[in-house]
Amino acid sequence: MTRIKEESRRRFLQKLIAGTSIMGLVPYIMSLEGCTKDDVTLKIPHRTFGKTGEMLSIYSLGGQATLEQAGMQDKAIEIINKAIDLGINYIDTSAYYGTNARGISERYIGEVMKTRRNEVFLATKTFSRSYDGAMSDLEKSLKNLQTDRIDLWQIHSVRENENLEWIFSDSGCLKAFEEARDQGIVRFLGITGHESPGPLKELIDRYPFDTVLMALNAADKYYKSFIEGLLPTAVEKKMGIIGMKIPAKERIFDQGGIITMKEAMSYTLSLPVSTIIIGIKEISQLEENIQIAKEFVQLSAEDMLAIEEKVEPHYERLMFFKGLSNWP
């Protein structure tokens, strides 16, 4: 990177960091009123979730990995319960998550939601772009999740070259989204995508979605950057922002360990996001990530630049979800 480009990137990151600092980070919860500093109980920090009025744990549970594998119900339920026990209050899934059959992830989560629904902000998604398809997915999601309400319903995986006009048409999924919101079945509306920032930006420029879920990791700037092409607009619109693909299915640790999970999470959490979601294979991973979130300290622009430089030689493998290499 030339000195001019590096300085420009530093200023850009500094501006984003300034946005992160005003998101209402709440790092500690006092266990007893009037206790001393030594008695402070460290919890997962929380941030504002756009204009929704909600405060989310900065680290949240994604409904993939073990949570979408057939035959893993007991282990998945253990992970979900442990996540809630340790302070996670946001769970993200999809009607389409499931290694052998759609809906497995929702069904696992539903086994926990039937007794702990009020403890979490619950989000799911539909791939369907039609009114009828989205409504059918919503009906299945409510049944699978064993609930009568969804906090956040999202248009899943918006991609390049798809017909966005269909979404806005009389037979499109947005009509179903608005209807479900007006009926009180869902509270907030969002969009998601990991391939390219362009279509997502077009959607949020055209419609006041409440939230956006986007791919945000340390290799982002090297190809179709969400940090440059979408994140500033989402911040300007005061949207709830969720980051995903943080470790890029653990490829970020390839080649002898490019960066640690602490660096990977801290990089994205230093951006103006409300929370990040990561799929979990084992309880030990969950506990490690939660501890990282509890100890999170905002990185400087220089720290973030250094992490970006570490991943540059490997960015093509890390951008598999944007089509630069094979999907795992």
Per-residue pLDDT for 171 more than 90?
yes
Closest by CA to 97, choosing from 274, 244, 265, is 244
What's the mean pLDDT when you consider all of the chain? 91
Structure confidence at residue 75 (pLDDT): 98
Any idea where the domains of the chain sit in the sequence? Answer: 3-28+39-322
Closest by CA to 63, choosing from 89, 29, 98, is 98
Which segment of 16-25, 166-175, 266-275, 311-320 scores lowest on mean pLDDT? 16-25
Quick: pLDDT tens for 230-256.
999 999 999 999 999 999 888 888 765
Query: Is residue 315 within 8 Å of residue 219, measured between CB atoms?
Result: yes
CATH topology of domain 3-28+39-322: TIM Barrel (3.20.20)
All residues at 6 or more sequence positions from 160 whose CB lies less than 8 Å from its CB, including other chains: 195, 196, 198, 199
What's the pTM? 0.93
How confident is the model over 216-231, as a mean pLDDT?
96
Helix (H) or strand (E) holding 213: strand 211-215
Buried b (16+ CB within 10 A) or exposed e, 294-325: bebeebebebbbebbebbeebbebbbbbbeee
Which segment of 33-37, 83-87, 128-132, 263-267 scores lowest on mean pLDDT? 33-37
Q: Is the dihedral of CA 55, 127, 177, 162 positive or negative?
A: positive
End-to-end Cα spacing for the chain: 30
Distance between CA 180 and CA 187 in Å, rounded? Answer: 8
